[in-house]
Amino acid sequence: MKFIVVQNDQEMSRAAAGHVVRTLQERADAVLGLATGSTPVGMYQELVRLYKLGGIDFSQVTTFNLDEYVGLSSNHPRSYHVYMLNHLFSHVNAVPEQIYIPDGNAPDLKKECEAYDQAIDHAGGIDLQVLGLGINGHIGFNEPGSSPEGRTMVVQLAESTIQANSRFFDNPASVPKQAITVGIGTILNCSRQIILLAKGEEKAQAVVNMMHQQPNPANPASYLKLHKDVTVIVDEQAASMMTLMTT
């Protein structure tokens, strides 16, 4: 895994957006795997800025989001559908038919998951997958204990994830307890290139664990070592424990 430390959120966002831009330059009809959470917000802002300058075109791009809460409708303000609309899709020329986000309100969630994997396969896989990192090492919503072979599925959220994400909800009780997530197997087998972003001191331990542990089920992000093209981009705070270990 390549490990890049940048000074701050702005540099991380620019570096991440640079990966997206290069992917679109290589292939105008690229397939992007997209993440939510607070970490990639700056990357989306940078992509919108570049789009408005005429630097990038999303008209042929297909996107697959990593995850969505179960039980939230697509217009719920805390759904990842609304997040993506607010941060990216309402600002660029992405075509709605080419935007995929799991439907956490689907009547048959198992079918929804199977159809999602089929759609990824049908699109020819993902050219660039963007990931964030949970404080417990989760990627997407693949919590500790997840299988490295997992495909898209319904998962129970870990208590620490519910707590961490409660900042986006009125209170912890209103955070959904389940989500649909693209599985680790889908991420590893269907992505040609992966970038993982992490910022802030609260991610420092998760970054060290990811970089130093052998792939193991207690730490989902450690499975990224099984992929041949992963770039980890972190700010100085998220890298602070790595620095301490090497000095």
Q: Mark whether 105 is an active-site residue.
A: no
Q: Should residue 165 be labelled a site residue for ligand GLP when binding is judged by CB under 6 A?
A: yes
Q: Are 159 and 61 in contact (CB under 8 A)?
A: no
Chain CA centroid to CA 26, Å = 21
Closest residue to ligand GLP in the complex (CB): 132
Closer to ligand GLP by Cβ: residue 132 or 150 = 132
Q: Should residue 137 be labelled a site residue for ligand GLP when binding is judged by CB under 6 A?
A: no
Rounded to a whole number of angstroms, the minimum distance from the CB of residue 227 to ligand GLP is 17
Q: Which of 141, 193, 194, 209 binds ligand GLP (CB under 6 A)?
A: 141
Helix (H) or strand (E) holding 48: helix 41-52
Rounded to a whole number of angstroms, the minimum distance from the CB of residue 32 to ligand GLP is 14
Rounded to a whole number of angstroms, the minimum distance from the CB of residue 109 to ligand GLP is 17
Beta bridge partners of 231: 2, 195
Q: Mark whether 8 is an active-site residue.
A: no
Q: Which of 161, 191, 219, 222 binds ligand GLP (CB under 6 A)?
A: 161
Q: Are 106 and 56 in contact (CB under 8 A)?
A: no
Measure Cα distances from 212 to 24, 148, 155 in Å.
32, 18, 26
Query: Which residue among the candidates 103, 138, 165, 235 is catalytic per the annotation?
Result: 138
Q: Should residue 183 be labelled a site residue for ligand GLP when binding is judged by CB under 6 A?
A: no
Task: Say how far apart CA 95 and CA 50 lie, in whole Å.
Answer: 18
Total of chain residues touching ligand GLP, rule CB under 6 A: 13
Q: Which tokens is 9 given?
A: 């959120």
Rounded to a whole number of angstroms, the minimum distance from the CB of residue 63 to ligand GLP is 14
Q: Should residue 67 be labelled a site residue for ligand GLP when binding is judged by CB under 6 A?
A: yes
Q: What is the DSSP letter of 214?
A: P
Task: Say how far apart CA 152 and CA 67 lie, in whole Å.
Answer: 9
Q: Mark whether 143 is an active-site residue.
A: yes
Q: Which of 42, 102, 132, 176 binds ligand GLP (CB under 6 A)?
A: 132
Q: Mark whether 189 is an active-site residue.
A: no
Q: Are 62 and 29 in contact (CB under 8 A)?
A: yes
Q: Are 31 and 64 in contact (CB under 8 A)?
A: yes
Catalytic residue numbers, as ranges? 67, 136, 138, 143
Interface residues with ligand GLP (CB under 6 A)?
35-39, 66-67, 132, 134, 140-141, 161, 165
